[in-house]
Amino acid sequence: MARVLIAGAGIGGLTTALMLHARGIAATIVEQAAEVREVGVGINTLPHAIAELAELDLLDRLDAVGLRTRELRYLNRRGQEIWREPRGIHAGHAHPQFSIHRGRLQKVLYDAARERLGADALITGHRLAGFVQDEAGVTAHFTDARDGSGSLDLRGEVLICADGIHSAGRRAFYPDEGPPSWNGVAMWRGATDWPVWEDGETMAIAGGLAGKLVLYPIAPAKGKTQLTNWVVNVRIADPSVTPPPRESWSTRAPLSKVLPYARRFHVPGIDIEALVRASGAIYEYPMADRDPLPRWTHGRVTLLGDAAHPMYPVGSNGAAQAILDARALADHFVAAGHPREALYRYEAERLPKTAAIVRQNRIGGPERVIDEVEKLSPAGFDHIDDVLSHADREAIVKGYAKLAGFATGDAR
Ligand SMILES: Cc1cc2nc3c(=O)[nH]c(=O)nc-3n(C[C@H](O)[C@H](O)[C@H](O)COP(=O)(O)OP(=O)(O)OC[C@H]3O[C@@H](n4cnc5c(N)ncnc54)[C@H](O)[C@@H]3O)c2cc1C
């Protein structure tokens, strides 16, 4: 019997398996997808989470597929600079921030898990459908993800549901919760090879209250070009009367839908409209999250990552918090006298912290600095300090870093 069963081979589930393995604890992961493909576009992973992956000896592999972020700039819609700060090692952290294709990060973790845990420990094409607990353990029931046929029952000491925003584990405990909540914002995303912008290691977030553009390279430059990721977030509807677009990371959107919005943003030195036009595939996803839960752990079963605390993707925190969950869970599993105690201690450590980030992201996270400037000076400015003082801007941006555990003094 595996000591730990994990449903979902996303960033959270795979990191948990690797962390447990590093502590001598056997885990089996079951993933619904038939194979782990490079799905998704860019994400940022913060230094405190990269510290955990470095401890798993994965830094070289990340360097091979991702990009160490040097600087972050916040701009208004016209491209005027509101704030700039160094990131990762350049900000004094012991570890870098990585801008990386989500699928490539997942592949790094998946390959490491296969090598270290053995191919038998990763089962694909099966979906968690239910579980039964008893005094000695938990039996998890999986069905064939293609047609719901067949059945695979696995027994473990605990079951970790790391199965994303539509978690089956979460639904079992909270059957009346319904779909994720949508704030009326659509996110369109794409990535394409593009002439290197600035130093090739800089990320920009530009815009105002009605919408934002996020821009960052996600792979090392190849000569004069590099894989450049963009996201356009725009409030397109009143969520109380309009149902959200379909929540699938692979929903495609036509160029004509995003172009009118993309044209609104200006970033010095890069033609945003041309970048968007050049991106072959454009993906659409609603900005959705869920209310923080009162409990994640129910006996021998718990939730992790997006299953536990899906959050708006502001402040680069979704993957980072899933990685921090994995670390906490593995540590408590080793330290606790009983598996149930481990899961309760894990929840006690992680639930309050992640709930605070979910709530902070709802009011804009660090990007709120852009909104505050627009409120005060919608037509732009001559000198940013006349609009909002350096101390006030710093309080918004650094206050968030402290909350999310990656202020320079916090990170390892
Ligand atoms: C396909 C995909 C693409 C994404 N693209 C982006 C992106 O471009 N940018 C971004 O910022 N974030 C993206 N995300 C979200 C981001 O990866 C997560 O917010 C973050 O990494 C937290 O990871 P997680 O492991 O908790 O959840 P997820 O990354 O969502 O992983 C959950 C995993 O569980 C599997 N799963 C779901 N239900 C079951 C079940 N019942 N049984 C077994 N397995 C199940 C899923 O297939 C998935 O592999 C994407 C997520 C997915 C699944």
pLDDT confidence band for 411 (50 / 70 / 90)? very low
Nearest CA to ligand 1 atom 37: 163
Structural domains in the chain plus CATH codes: 2-44+61-66+102-178+293-362 (3.50.50.60)
Candidates 206, 192, 199; CA nearest to 234 is 206
Instruction: Give the distance (Å) from ligand 1 centre to CA of residue 40.
Output: 9
Instruction: Give the distance (Å) from ligand 1 centre to CA of residue 8.
Output: 8
Give pTM, 2 decimals.
0.93
For a pocket test of ligand 1, which of 14, 43, 46 has the largest count of ligand atoms closer than 8 A to its C-beta?
Answer: 43
What is the predicted pLDDT for the residue at 412?
Answer: 37
Nearest CA to ligand 1 atom 5: 40
Instruction: Give the distance (Å) from ligand 1 centre to CA of residue 10.
Output: 5
| Average of per-residue pLDDT across 3-11 | 97
The Cα 26–Cα 123 span in angstroms is: 14
Length of the chain: 412
pLDDT tens, residue by residue, 244-282:
777 788 899 999 999 999 999 999 999 999 999 999 899
Q: How many CB atoms lie within 10 A of CB 215?
A: 24
pLDDT confidence band for 361 (50 / 70 / 90)? confident
Task: Ligand 1: list residues with CB < 6 Å.
Answer: 7-13, 30-33, 39-41, 43, 102, 127-128, 162-164, 168, 189, 249, 305-306, 313, 318-319, 322
pLDDT tens, residue by residue, 15-66:
999 999 999 999 999 999 998 877 778 999 999 999 999 999 999 999 999 9
| Average of per-residue pLDDT across 77-97 | 93
- The bridge status of strand 71-76 relative to strand 81-86 is antiparallel
Token couple for 387 = 């609009």
pLDDT tops 50 at residue 76 = yes
pLDDT tops 90 at residue 317 = no
Average pLDDT, the chain: 92
Nearest CA to ligand 1 atom 30: 164
Instruction: Give the distance (Å) from ligand 1 centre to CA of residue 103.
Output: 10
- Three-state DSSP at 330 gives helix
pLDDT tops 90 at residue 3 = yes
Nearest CA to ligand 1 atom 21: 319
pLDDT confidence band for 137 (50 / 70 / 90)? very high
Instruction: Give the distance (Å) from ligand 1 centre to CA of residue 106.
Output: 9
pLDDT tens, residue by residue, 177-229:
998 999 899 999 999 999 999 999 999 999 988 899 999 999 999 899 999 99
Token couple for 205 = 């977030």
Instruction: Give the distance (Å) from ligand 1 centre to CA of residue 224.
Output: 32
